[in-house]
Amino acid sequence: MTYDLVIRGGTVVTAADTVRADVGISGGIIRAVGLDLDRGAKEIDASSLLVMPGGIDSHVHLAQPFNGAKMADGFESGTRSAIAGGNTTVMPFATQPRGAGLRVSVEEYKALADGACYADHAFHMIVSDPTPSVLGQELPSLVADGYTSFKVFMTYDDLVLSDRQLLEVFECARSCGALVMVHCEGYDAIRFMTDRLERAGRTAPYYHAVSRPESVEREATHRAISHAELTDVPIMIVHVSGREPMEQIRWAQLKGLKVYGETCPQYIALTADDLRGLNMDETGGKYVCSPPPRDHASWEAIWEGIRTGVFQVFSSDHCPFRYDDVEGKLRPQGRTSFRWVPNGIPGIETRLPILYSKGVVEGRITVNEFVALTSTNHAKMYGLYPRKGSIAPGFDADLVLWDPQRKETIRQEILHHGADYTPYEGLAVTGWPVMTILRGKPVFEEGRILGEPGDGQFLKRPPPR
Ligand code: DUC
Ligand code: ZN
Ligand code: ZN
């Protein structure tokens, strides 16, 4: 047998195993993993490299309306940045604006993605207006069509759901078999704190972190868990920032509840001190995201949660805004108070290097755990397995060839996103993607984009079983 492509002599890493093997690929599918495979029409020498499943980033925001600010990445630049960071699949969110239908929101979002993506993609939904027709018809029918996960918010004026609404949405998800992702921060507590801080003239970006301390996240996490227990629905607590919410999830898991956890690079690489600045012209706004990054003790708590399996997935929560831009972080309204600084930071391209460097190189996790956290578990959690997320015959040939020795310093100038900065500027890492292969096609190599918009396919997920 010959192959279209053979990746020769690499160290193949999956969530389970590390073996030296060739990978034979034809028709975009992995056909064989083994020693001394027959020749390929094309061959790539991977003898000094790790061959891992392409990253799957199951929490990214692209081309999403955001409270009047303009997101720095649409599908094209966002997925370009994704492949440059070793990813092959991304999962952004189709948002239902209040007053709009859910189906039409999904269709409009899909139209934006069609033909524009460098990476494969599937969508979660964001449900902001759970009307009787959304809960009675639209949501069940979309879930049956393969949109099997959606996010709900416990804060933000234009997205927040009441407890009653959360319960109704959870009940609906339970009956149609969906997984609910929950943004856990308490709306009223944040508004209370924000009003007080503003009255005291504390409006600089740093006070964003003060306005939503860990207790606010812990309380909402517990409330979401209680609602999930009442309705017997699986939930994913997203972007967990520190010990207190992590321990709530662990408590729920030990109780046997179907509660899953996600964390992100900002919670092991940034702290609230990054938000410090004297006024709105200072750079603190670059780090405004929610929940906010906390402190070094929180990093250790997050590692504890990663090591002990509280967190199944490590996502970027890529939510990019340009900094020096009237529609970005420094928009005129944003200069008046942290309340108006758009929440979110770019990170789709730096997720893998940060986790590899701080996790694998610094000895906190194994390389197999790295694969589970960045790819395999995302595929399993969100219905893309066994097509995506591992290296074995029959899987899509989505791979990242990884140089485990490569030292790099994260800098804006080497990244491919649409933002004008990276919050990780100057961070030294060891381990870097050398090549990204999407269904058998090299789409990124040594800093150069080889793929094209449209290479990425929409992934229809199967309905729940
Ligand atoms: N939640 C996210 O998941 N991303 C960006 C902003 C937010 O609040
Ligand atoms: Zn969120
Ligand atoms: Zn997010």
> Would you say 422 and 415 are in contact if contact means Cβ atoms under 8 Å apart?
yes
Question: What digits encode the pLDDT tens for the residues 347-406?
Answer: 999 999 999 999 999 999 999 999 999 999 999 999 999 999 999 999 999 999 999 999
Calculate the alpha carbon distances from 313 to 5, 57, 85, 238 in Å.
30, 9, 17, 9
Predicted confidence at residue 225, as pLDDT, reads 99
Residue 351 alpha carbon to ligand 2 centre in Å: 17
What's the 221 CA to ligand 2 centre distance in angstroms?
12
Backbone angles phi, psi at 209, to 5 degrees: -70, -35
Spatial distance between the Cα atoms of 235 and 271, rounded to a whole number of angstroms: 27
Residues with CB under 5 A from ligand 2 (ion): 183
Q: What span, in angstroms and rounded, lies between the C-alpha atoms of 72 and 416?
A: 11
Q: Over 90: is that where the pLDDT of 338 sits?
A: yes
The count of residues in the chain is 465
Distance 155 CA to ligand 1 centre (A): 10
**pLDDT of 248-276, one tens digit each?**
999 999 999 999 999 999 999 999 999 98
CA distance 335 to 341: 7
Q: Does 282 have pLDDT greater than 70?
A: no
Q: What rounded mean pLDDT belongs to the chain?
A: 97
313-314 sheet: strands from edge to edge: 93-95, 124-126, 149-153, 179-183, 235-237, 259-263, 313-314
Least Cα distance to 178 among 149, 139, 207 occurs for 149
- 3-state secondary structure (DSSP) of residue 106: helix
Any idea which fold 55-361 has? TIM Barrel (3.20.20)
- The mean pLDDT value for 442-457 works out to 98
**Closest atom of ligand 1 to CA, residue 156:** 8
Residues ≥6 apart with Cβ < 8 Å to 453? 75, 76, 79, 80, 115, 116, 117, 118
Residue 159 near ligand 1, beta carbon < 6 Å: no
Flag whether pLDDT at 279 surpasses 80.
no
Q: Whose C-alpha lies nearest to ligand 1, atom 8?
A: 290
Q: Does residue 183 line the site of ligand 1, with CB under 6 A?
A: yes
Q: How far apart are CA 202 and CA 180, in angstroms?
A: 35
3-53+387-449 matches 55-361 in fold: no
Decide: 290 and 277 in contact? Cβ < 8 Å. no
Each domain of the chain, given as residue ranges in start order, spans 3-53+387-449, 55-361
Average pLDDT on 218-235 reads 98
- Lowest-confidence range among 55-64, 327-336, 341-350, 445-454? 327-336
Mean pLDDT of 280-303: 91
Could you read off the pLDDT of 136-180 as tens digits, one per residue?
A: 999 999 999 999 999 999 999 999 999 999 999 999 999 999 999
Cβ of residue 61 lying under 6 Å from some atom of ligand 1? yes
- Quote the CA–CA distance of 93 and 184 in Å, as a whole number: 17
CATH superfamily of 3-53+387-449: Urease, subunit C, domain 1 (2.30.40.10)
How far, in Å, from the CA of 445 to the mean position of ligand 3?
Answer: 28
Percentage of the chain beyond pLDDT 70 is 99
